[in-house]
Structures are given as C-alpha cells and as structure tokens.
Amino acid sequence: MPPPDSVFRPFRSSDAERSDRAAGDRARHRDKVREAIRENIADIIAEESIIGQDKNRIIKVPIRGIKEYRFIYGDQSPQVAQGNGDTERGQVVGKQGDGQDGAPGKAGDQPGVDYYETDVSLEEVIDLMFEDLELPDMERKRLRQIESERNFKRQGFRQKGIRSRLDKRRTARSRVRRKLAGEEPRSNGPTDRFPFHDGDLTYKHITTDIRLESNAAVICIMDTSGSMDSAKKYLARSFFFLLYQFIRSKYQNVEIVFVAHHTAAKEVTEEEFFYKGESGGTMISSGYKRALEIIEERYHPTLWNVYSFHCSDGDNFDSDNADAVKLAEALTNACNLFGYGEIKPLGPRYYESSMLNVFRRLDADNFQTVLIERKQDVWPSFKALLAKERVPTGPEDE
Amino acid sequence: MNEWHVADLEKWDDVICQHVDDIGLSCFPQEFEICDHNQMLGYMAYSGMPSHYPHWSYGKSFEKLKTLYDHGVSGLPYEMVINSNPSIAYLMRDNSLLLQILTIAHVYGHNDFFRNNFTFRTTNPEYTISGFKSRANRVRSYIEDPTIGLERVERVLDAAHALSMQCRRNLAVRKPSELEHRADALKSAEPAKDPFQQIHKRAEYDPPDLRKTPTQPDEDILLFIRDHNPYLSEWERDLLTIAHEEAQYFIPQMETKIMNEGWASFWHHKILERLDLPTDLHLEFLVRHNQVVCPHEGSLNPYHVGIKIWEDLEKQCEGDDLAPLFAVRESDRDSSFLRRHLSEDLVRELDLFQYGPQGDDLVVTEVSDEAGWQQVRDSLIANTGSNLLPTIQVVDADHDGNRTLLLRHDHDGRDLHPQYAEKALAFVHQLWQYDVVLDTVLGGQPAHLTHGERGFSVQTG
C-alpha cells in the first residue's frame, strides 16, 4: 500500500466571506421561533417571571413548535457513565432533567432529546405581543399628541424667498460660476461689469418643525383591602404590566403612578403596590378621588395622555357605589382611557357583589370593564379592551 | 498571524504519510482544507458537506452551535472528516502547528477506518459529495417550483426527518426484495420432506397469505410509505427518498463512533510518538492528547473508551504483529466491539456504572463489580449507536381492511418517550394519509397508539 496522496487547500478569506451558507436556514428558523412565540404568547405572558421585569432582560422561552420530534426512548431508560473509581450502588449522581454541569445524562449527547430554548429579550416579546394585536393606524391618531415645541429649521435652498433669507455667499458663488462658464478663454481685456442675475439669488429655506410631545401617564389604581389576596394581585399585576408596556410602545415619555386604596387611598411605590397587604373594607371612590387629584396636580389632560386602570375584586361598600360612579365619570373625562378590571379567581358566581353591574350605569366611550378569572384570561381581556378602544368614535376625536 | 504556513503542514504531512504507510493504514486520497471558525460552524451544521439542501433545522443547529461557541461553553473540533473518496478534512485555521500535526495524523486514522470498516462498504464514498449535491439541487428545484414551494417542501421534510432513522440499521446485510420474501414464505410453508411419504398421511399444506403487505415486517418506514401510498406526488416521493438516503449515510458513523474515534486517537498517538518532535511540540502533544482522550467523569468520552479498548487489544497482540487489530477494525461495529473486547478488567478500570432516575434523582443502579459488570456493559451497548433508536416495523398496510397502517415497536425493556411518540406518529399519519396504529408497551402494559382523522388516542391493556 503506497502512502496516501494528499492535497492542502489553504484558507481563502474570500471563501470565508462568501460562506455564510446557513443564512437562509437561520432566517427560516428565526421565523419559526417568532411564530412559535406568537402562538404561545398568552402562556408567555401568563408566566410570572416576565412581569415587572426590565425590558432588556433576556427571557428563556421554551419553544415547543420547533422541536424536532422523532421516536426516541423515554427518560426512564438506564444509561451508562464513567465514575471516579469508587462508584457505589445507590449513589446519587445527579438530578433528573439536569443536563448541565457535567451531571450524567447530558441532554445534548442523546439523539433527539431536544432541550431547545430560545433567548428572547422582553422587548422582543412585547413587540410580538403588539404585532399580535394588529393595531391599525387609526389607533395612533386617537392617542392625543400635544404640540410641545415649534422650531424653525433650515432645510436646503430655494430660488425664491424673502430678502432677509438671502444666502449671500451662495449667491455670490453662483454669479462667479456663471461668469467663469461664459468667459472666453484667455481674454485678459478690461472686464465689463458683470451684474447679479435673478438666477443667482439663493435663499435659505426654512421649515417649521413641530415636535409632537407625546407624554403619557399610567395611573394604576388597585384595591388593597383585605379581600385582595396575592392571587388576585398577581392577576392585577399582569394586567397593569400589559397596559404599561402597551402605552410605553406608543409614547416617548411614560410615567407610572400607583394608587393603592382600601377605605382611604394613597400613592405608593411599585413594591408596596404589589406586595403590601392592607386590611379592612373597600371604598373605591377614595382611589378615584386620589387619582383625580394626582391628575390635577401633575398630569393635566391638556398636556398628558392619561390612562387609568383600576383593579378590584368588586367587593365595595354599597354606600360608596354612587360616589364611585360619579368619580369614575370624572375620570373618563380626564383620561384617554379608563378601565376597570374585576378580578374573580373563583368565577363570578362565587362572589356576592360586583362593580361590573354598578358600572353599567356609566355611559362613556372611553370606559371599559373586563372580568378576569384566571391568568389565561389576562391576554384575551387585554386584547378585548384595546379592540374596543379601536372604534374611532369618542369625544377626543373632535 | 499563524505560527505555521501551509508549506509547513505539507512538510509534516509527507513525514506522517510515510508513517501511515509503515504502520499499514490504507487510506483514500486525502484533501485538507483550512477553514476559519465560521466555516467550521457551517460545516458542522451541514454534516461537513460542501453542499446540502436547505432546511430550517440546519439553521437551528447552526444557531445552537454558534451560541455554545460564542459563550465558550463548547469549543469547536480541531477537525472534521467526511467519509468520501477522496476523503475531505477541514482543519481549523486557528490551530497551533502541533494541533495541525496531531489532527492530520488523526484524520488518517479516520480515513483508514472509513475505507476498511465493513459498515461503510455500502456507502459508495465515490459518490458521497455528488449525492449530497444532487439531493440539494432536487430539493431546491422543488422549492423554486411555483406549484410546490417552500412551505409544502418543508412540511414533507419535517415529517421525513422525524422518521428517517426508522430504517434498517445493518446495511451490510442485503435487504431481500418483496419477491424473495414471497418465495421464502411459499417455501417455508411447504411441509418438511418425509422419506416415508408413501405410507404416511399427506401433510397438511397451509398456504401462506401472500396478499398481506408487507410479507415480512419492514423497518424502512419512509421507503414503505413511498412505495405504498399511491396518493403521494412524485416530488413527495423523492423527498422521502432524499431523507432516507441521508440517514443511510449517517448510520455507519453512528454505529462506529467509539471504535472510530478510538482508532484515530490510537494511531495519532502512535504516529506522533514516531515523529521525533522537538521538545516544545512534544510537550504540547502530550497535553493535547490528554485533553482529547481524558475520561469525562459523570458522562462518557468515546475517545477515551475507544482508545482504552484498542490499547487493551494491542497488549494482547503477540510481539509487534498488530494484524488482529486491523482485523477488528474491519469486521466490528460498536455493539460487537464492546461485547467482544470490553473486558471485565477494563470495565472495572474505567469504573463504568449504570444509572437511572429514581424520583427526582439519578441514582447508580449497577456498578462494575463481579456481579454487575456484564449488566453495565450490556447497558452501554444498549446506549450505543443505533441501539439508541427504537426499532419500529411496518407490520400491515391494510390493518382491519381499511388501509390503516399498523406499526409495531420491538420493545426491549425501554419505553418510548410518550410525547415524542405522539408527535412522530402524527408525522407517519401525515405521510400515510390514513389512520396509523403503533403497538408498543408503556409502563409494562401493551399500548396501542392511534393517530388518524379523529386525532391521537392511546389504548392500553
């Protein structure tokens, strides 16, 4: 047997540059990932961990849609690994489903065991969420924009204009250019007068630049009375999260205010809002009153797009209902959108009172109510809320 | 940038080739291509082929490899060799000179193995590259065909990929044709020759049922569907063929992972020891070699297990005559290699153990002592190569007389992963277009998984 023939092909950077052969398949895969996220968006939103997170945070989204399924053996099957010399029967060598840190059963080593998760930033998920809503353009028009600045900006040059905007330098240059172009070669004779023409005159062009300031304030009002337990607060939080994210995607500057109420209301921090429990009864009007005060003080509706949302379990003192409706009406006048979400984790029939009935009396286009029973409801009710808002009628359109 | 030039590699390669020849390896001509890490990622995602048909799963695998590489979780291999004639190997540009030398020697080990091991006899290495290219062209032409398009091609390929490994695994044994099966069936139904037939009652002749399709259970699910579902279009049939052919290319490599890596490592070690390396290179060689073949505690390094067995076999050889080694590399695959040559002493030395889940924990269930070592070895064999793939056969294409496809899982004590089985069965249904039933065992109970018009259902008992 003669020694083998061999050839070496040296590295060529031109090949390397052309060699992004996986680009098409990667794009296709990426599409499928997005598709899968979109399909599971309701589950992802129902996932506790993403709510209230920094938008740049990377979250792991398990992608079911793009696993490559095959016939494989289940994870109960025994396997073999190598020990350090004194392995004994009954010794624990790892945790099930623990593919990392060198533990036995490294998932990637077995064919077909697909532990694929994809990293998506929260921002991306939010984009996909709102893509899913398919909001038409008229949505944006409806959101109030306020002309905050009127600037004058130079933009190019024109042949016509008012005298004060004449650009002397360009005008002179234009004349010189015309003169040189028309000159006979090597004519060194006494130069004639060479006046400016109308065509030489160049004016600065000024446009007015209107900056639309889009400020929005989200006022989250929540019932923190004794009956609002952590399960209810969690549902409320999910809803507030969506609202906040949505509004943030539409405005440059969004501020968020938390108003907690039981029989009295006060402005609190996010932390207190979601985690601090109070006791006692509920007077919804107190929360609305505080919200109106805050709007009056800091977020006047002529300058701010105000979105208020109130979550409660609807267990209000009967005596307070009339006040609540009156103040809710005041809120609908001050806000772009005012919503009321009733959280009933055990289903509506289980609870005696409901504010949903009381609020029937309130007739305003920008007032919406939703009922949330389970975390799976959060996304659909949010969608429903916005779908209603989409109808292009209402006082603000005039 | 590099401490070496291609001329250096050629010089070392000449020397290595002399040693390759001296020790008796017989190789295909070898081509080496120097590539950077991006190209290497690309080759890895597309099984080393210069051309390959597009499918999103390769994008996924590229993405995964790249993420692991970028985060430093896993490095890239120093080389990649593909089984073709001439053999093609990719060398990473960033490797040091010593790594290139070691890799070149390693590549010749694989090359010799591809050329001589019996499992690769059926792979037609002359046509490897052109085969992949032709398949790529066909798939692209279907994608570009406006009457077909990407979405439909993808749908068929998704299903075909899910089932492509459900095929015959021992390709060295020829598959009998349907006609031969029938002839066999007729022959075996004939009564045994009776020397006293004059005086005996004539034996009953029980005619075999030749209408049954298939006559014998068939493991090649994709091919069976291709040949027996008349509603498939030509391009769909071709896609099934394409997926099947690709799987056939990989099976010999799956079947010989431990042997092949062990063999290449065994020989790169031998060759480099003979090379008379300068001290600094020699030291680096010892370090690198150890990195490659060191044991991975808590898992299994095929390089380590492989080289250990080959070294053990070498010790058993008389004198310098390594002919028995060459015979083993020709006639074994991992299953037989482990069964025949992984001795009790070696199992013990490697401290192999068997483990399984108990509650949330993974617990050692058997160790390599006198009572347990055979069990550990058998369990290792069961976790090797195609033994990791369940055997599922087509038993009847007209079950219950309504074109239901009956599949049978040959249960060897390991249950199928139920969720995966459900999805994979959906793919069978998609391709077969009629109901499909899979007979298996789940949790000790016979189970019939059905996928059809009315969706998926499981019947136990």
pLDDT tens profile B218-228: 999 999 999 99
Residue A202: domain span: 150-182+196-211
Same domain as A171, residue A127: no
Residue appearing with tokens 């010989």: B256
Confidence of residue A141 (pLDDT cuts 50, 70, 90): very low
Percent of chain B surpassing pLDDT 70: 99
Q: Are residues A168 and A275 in the same domain?
A: no
Bridge-based pairing state of the strands A203-213 and A146-158 = antiparallel
A232 and A296 in one domain? yes
Q: Does A60 touch chain B (CB under 8 A)?
A: no
Q: What is the helix, strand, coil percentage profile of chain B, to 5?
A: 55, 15, 30
For CA atoms A10, A13, A18, A24, the dihedral sign is positive
| pLDDT at residue A42, rounded to an integer | 65
Indicate if the pLDDT at residue B11 is higher than 80. Answer: yes
What sign does the CA torsion over B176, B178, B184, B188 have?
Answer: positive
Encode pLDDT of B195-212 as tens digits. 887 788 777 777 877 788
Higher pLDDT, B238 or A239: B238
Question: Given this model, what pLDDT does residue A231 score?
Answer: 77
Which among A9, A11, A32 is the nearest to B31, CB-wise?
A9
A30 part of contact set with chain B, CB < 8 Å: yes
Locate A269 and state its tokens: 């921090």
How much is the pLDDT for A110? 36
- Indicate yes or no: CB of A25 within 8 angstroms of CB of B42: no
User: Residues B47, B161: contact at Cβ < 8 Å?
Assistant: no
Residue A122 to residue A127: CA distance in whole angstroms: 9
- Residue A296 and residue A201 share a domain: no
Which of B1, B17, B27, B60 is the best mutation test for A, with the most CBs of A within 10 A? B60
- Give residue limits of the domains in chain B: 6-117+256-339, 342-387, 390-460
In the predicted model, what is the mean pLDDT of residues A343-351?
68
- Under 8 Å CB pairs connecting chains A and B tally to 260
The one-letter amino acid code at B260 reads: N
Same domain, A347 and A232: yes
Give the span between the Cα atoms of A151 and A330, in whole angstroms: 35
- The 8-class DSSP code of residue B205 comes to P
The total number of structural domains in chain A stands at: 3
Q: Round to whole Å and give the CA distance between B214 and B211.
A: 9
Query: Does residue A233 sit in the same domain as residue A295?
Result: yes
Residue A1 tokens, joined: 């047997």
State the average pLDDT over residues A179-197. Answer: 74
Confidence of residue A114 (pLDDT cuts 50, 70, 90): very low
- CB-based contact B364 A89, cutoff 8 Å: yes
- Listed in sequence order, the residues at least 6 apart from B80 whose beta carbon sits closer than 8 Å to its beta carbon are B40, B43, B44, B48, B89, B90
Shared domain check, A223 and A285? yes
Q: Does B440 touch chain A (CB under 8 A)?
A: no
Same domain, A207 and A280: no
Cβ–Cβ below 8 Å for A104 and B56? no
> Is the backbone peptide bond immediately before B86 cis, with ω within 30 degrees of 0?
yes
Give the distance from residue B202's alpha carbon to the nearest chain A alpha carbon, in angstroms: 48
Shortest CA gap A38–chain B (Å): 18
Angstrom CA distances, A119 to A33, A54, A59, A122, B63, stand at 10, 15, 6, 9, 11
Nearest residue to A389 (alpha-carbon basis) of A193, A141, A167, A86? A141
The stretch A236-255 carries a mean pLDDT of 76
In sequence order, the β-bridge partners of residue A267 are A259
Given its phi and psi angles, is residue A186 left (phi above 0), alpha (psi -120 to 50 degrees) or beta?
Answer: left
Question: Higher confidence at residue A386 or residue B60?
Answer: B60
Neighbours of A141 (CB within 10 A): 12
A chain contacts of residue B65, beta-carbon cutoff 8 Å: none
Q: Is A25 near chain B, with CB under 8 Å?
A: yes
pLDDT tens across A86-103, in order? 888 888 888 775 443 333
Provide the pLDDT for residue B458. 93
A10 touches chain B (CB under 8 A): yes
Q: Are residues A156 and A61 in the same domain?
A: no
Q: Does A273 map to a domain?
A: yes
Find which of A80, A92, A93 to mutate to test the B interface (most B CBs within 10 Å of its CB).
Answer: A80
Provide φ and ψ at B274, rounded to 5°: -85, -5
Distant-in-sequence, close-in-space partners of A185: CB < 8 Å, separation ≥ 6: none
Whether the complex's predicted ipTM surpasses the cut of 0.95: no
Residue count (chain A): 398
DSSP state, residue B203: P
pLDDT value of residue A108: 33
With 60 as the cut, is the pLDDT of residue A106 above it? no
- Residue A32's pLDDT band, with cuts at 50, 70 and 90, is confident
CB within 8 Å: B351 and A85 = yes
Facing A71 at nearest CB: one of B108, B351, B416: B416
Helices marked H in B83-149 — which ranges?
Answer: 97-116, 128-144
pLDDT at B213: 84
What angle is formed at CA A116 by the lines to CA A111 and CA A118, rounded to 5 degrees?
Answer: 160
Q: Is residue A44 part of a domain?
A: yes
What is the torsional sign of CA B330, B335, B339, B345? Answer: positive
The token duo for A304 is 């701010």
Q: Is residue A88 part of a domain?
A: no
pLDDT value of residue B454: 87
Question: Quick one: pLDDT band at residue A147, thresholds 50, 70, 90?
Answer: low
Q: Is B64 on the interface with A (CB under 8 A)?
A: yes
- Cis-peptide, bond into residue A10, ω within 30° of zero: no
Q: Could you give the angle at the alpha carbon of B120 between the alpha carbons of B117 and B126, nearest 5°?
A: 120
d(CA B20, CA A262): 86
Find, among A245, A179, A255, the residue nearest to A215 by Cα: A255
> A-chain residues within 8 Å CB-CB of B35?
11, 16
pLDDT digits (tens, 9 = 90+) for B76-92: 788 889 999 999 999 99
Helices (H), chain A: 13-18, 23-39, 41-46, 122-133, 138-142, 168-182, 230-250, 270-275, 284-298, 321-334, 355-358, 378-389
Q: Does B357 touch chain A (CB under 8 A)?
A: yes
pLDDT band at B247 (very low <50, low <70, confident <90, very high): very high
- Cα distance between residue B4 and residue A251, in whole Å: 58
What spatial distance separates the first Cα and last Cα of chain A, rounded to whole Å?
A: 93
Q: Are A384 and A370 in contact (CB under 8 A)?
A: yes
Is residue A366 assigned to a domain?
yes
Which pLDDT does position A53 carry in this prediction? 52
pLDDT at A392: 43
> Residue written as tokens 């066909």?
B138
Q: For residue A223, is it left (φ>0), alpha (ψ between -120 and 50) or beta?
A: beta
Pick from A1, A5, A6 the residue to mutate for testing the B interface (most B CBs within 10 Å). Answer: A6
Cis peptide before B214 (omega within 30 of 0): yes
Structure tokens at A87: 């392995």
Point out the least confidently predicted range of A246-255, B330-339, B352-361.
A246-255
Q: Which of B337, B336, B368 is nearest to B351 (CA)?
A: B368
A323 plus A378 within the same structural domain: yes
Find out whether A23 and A361 touch, Cβ atoms under 8 Å.
Answer: no
- Sheet harboring A265-268: ordered strands across? A265-268, A253-261, A215-223, A305-312, A337-343, A367-372
Residue contact A104–B418, C-beta within 8 A:
no
pLDDT score, position B364: 92
Q: What are the residues whose beta carbons fall under 8 Å from the beta carbon of A279, sequence distance 6 or more?
A: A225, A226, A262
- A191 lies in a domain? no
Determine the pLDDT at residue B131. 94
Mutate one of B362, B378, B392, B442 to test the A interface: name it (highest A CB count within 10 A). Answer: B362
Determine contact, residues B218/B394, Cβ cutoff 8 Å.
yes
Residue pair B312/B329 in contact (Cβ under 8 Å)? The answer is: no
Burial (CB count <10 Å: 0-12, 13-18, 19+), residue A318 = exposed
Rounded Cα distance between A42 and A398, Å, is: 35
Average of pLDDT values for A162-166? 90
Residues B143-153, mean pLDDT to the nearest whole number: 95
Q: For residue A88, which residues of chain B lie inside 8 Å, CB to CB?
A: 364, 367
pLDDT greater at residue B282 or residue A228: B282
pLDDT tens-digit series, residues B289-318: 999 999 988 889 999 999 999 999 999 988
Mean pLDDT over each residue of chain B, to the nearest integer: 91
**Cross-chain CB nearest to A81 (options B10, B355, B360):** B355
Beta-carbon separation of A24 and B45 below 8 A: no
Considering the domain boundaries, does residue A107 fall inside one?
A: no
Q: Decide: B406 and B396 in contact? Cβ < 8 Å.
A: yes
B340 neighbors B374 (Cβ within 8 angstroms): no
How far apart CA A102 and CA A100 sit, in angstroms, is 6
Beta carbons of B30 and A7 less than 8 Å apart = yes
Query: What count of residues does chain B have?
Result: 461
User: Are B365 and B354 in contact, with CB atoms under 8 Å apart?
Assistant: yes
Query: Are A292 and A357 members of one domain?
Result: yes
pLDDT, tens digit (0-9, with 9 covering 90-100), for B103-129 = 999 999 999 999 999 999 888 899 999
Structure confidence at residue B65 as a pLDDT band (50, 70, 90): confident
| pLDDT above 70 coverage of chain A, percent | 69
Residues of B in contact with A74 (CB under 8 A): 414-418
- Interval A55-68: pLDDT, tens: 555 555 555 446 78
Contact call for B364 and A1, based on CB within 8 A: no
Task: Specify the 3-state DSSP secondary structure of A210.
Answer: strand
For A33-44, the pLDDT digits (tens) are 777 777 766 666
Strands B361-367 and A92-95: antiparallel
Angle among Cα A91, A97, A102 to the nearest 5 degrees reads 65
Give the nearest chain B residue to A68 (CA atoms).
Answer: B162
Residue to substitute from B417, B423, B428, B431, interface A, most A β-carbons within 10 A: B417
My answer on whether A237 and A356 are in the same domain is yes
Give the phi and the psi of residue B103 in degrees, each rounded to 5: -65, -40
The one-letter code for the residue type at B154 is E
* A95 touches B346 (CB < 8 A): no
For residues B421 and B390, is the Cβ–Cβ distance under 8 A? Answer: no
> Residue A393 above 60 pLDDT?
no
B23 near A CB under 8 A: no
pLDDT of A397 over the 70 cut: no
Q: Are strands B352-358 and B445-452 parallel, antiparallel or unpaired?
A: unpaired
Rounded Cα–Cα distance for residues A390 and A246 (Å): 14
**CB-based contact B34 A16, cutoff 8 Å:** no
Assess A89–B contact: CB distance below 8 Å, yes or no: yes
Tens digits of residue pLDDT in B409-455: 999 999 999 989 999 999 999 999 999 999 999 989 999 999 998 88
- At A36, give phi and psi (nearest 5°): -65, -40
- What span, in angstroms and rounded, lies between the C-alpha atoms of A379 and A381? 5
pLDDT (tens digit, 9 = 90+) per residue, A307-324? Answer: 888 888 888 888 888 888
Q: Tell me which residue in A11, A70, A116 faces B165 most closely, judged by beta carbons.
A: A70
